[in-house]
Amino acid sequence: MLEQLKEDVWRANLDLVKYGLVVLTWGNVSGIDRDAGLVVIKPSGVDYEKLTPDEMVVVDLAGNVVNGSKRPSSDTPTHIQLYKSFRKIGGITHTHSINAAAFAQARVEISCLGTTHADYFAGPVPVTRFLTKKEIDRAYELNTGKVIVERFRQIDYESIPGVLVAGHGPFCWGRDASSSVRNALILERVAEMALKTMALNPKTKKLSGHFLNKHFERKHGKGAYYGQDSD
């Protein structure tokens, strides 16, 4: 199981390049084996073209390396905090994709302006608060995870599978590593659409609640009917 997870996480990291979500080493994907309590994540600062499944780093939920010769991503504490708090997720993706990062830097949530957004996010994509100086100095990456969890105290993380960390960039999650990358790609496209929409018409209204709910529920609700039964 662990070797398969390492392969899955490796492929998911390569998908970041495939989908144009990263340049250089600006991003990482992880996956978790809930039964074993182990997280597989990209090694820190390694070029994507040089990655192999064997180079994926395995850590426990305390952040200790249990398998791998390289240091894990510097964002590992953030990933671990999210796995501990969002018990139903199986994969996490962090990028600095241009449009989503622009919203994060501007500290502006991505409002639901159309059905493409509503198909995957059941409301606006939220922005965290800035970390305090103490939070940055003492445990920056861990506290990044904590401010994400704080932001989701009254938000369903399953129906809004992503967040914008103020001044930083997006984190997305899903049932596994691959689906977290998919949600990161969708978030980036939604952010791009929102920016262009507001440039064309700054007075664009948010999608109405019943319209938003219809599109989200037809894909993700109990009576979902989009796609095939095997999807």
The set of catalytic residues is: 119, 226
Assigned token pair, 140: 């920056």
Give the separation between CA 130 and CA 147, rounded to whole angstroms: 8
Strands 38-41 and 169-174 turn out to be unpaired
Phi, psi of 75 (to 5 degrees): -85, 5
Q: Give the distance from CA 229 to its chain's centroid.
A: 26
Residue 149's identity, in one-letter code, is: V
Would you tell me how many other CB atoms lie within 10 Å of the CB of residue 98? Answer: 15
Residues 30/9, Cβ–Cβ less than 8 Å: yes
Q: Among 97, 42, 46, which residue's Cα sits nearest to residue 75?
A: 42
Give the separation between CA 131 and CA 125, rounded to whole angstroms: 19
Identify the three-state secondary structure at position 60: strand
Give the separation between CA 144 and CA 146, rounded to whole angstroms: 5
Rg (CA), the chain: 17
Give the separation between CA 92 and CA 9, rounded to whole angstroms: 10
Assigned token pair, 15: 């998908």
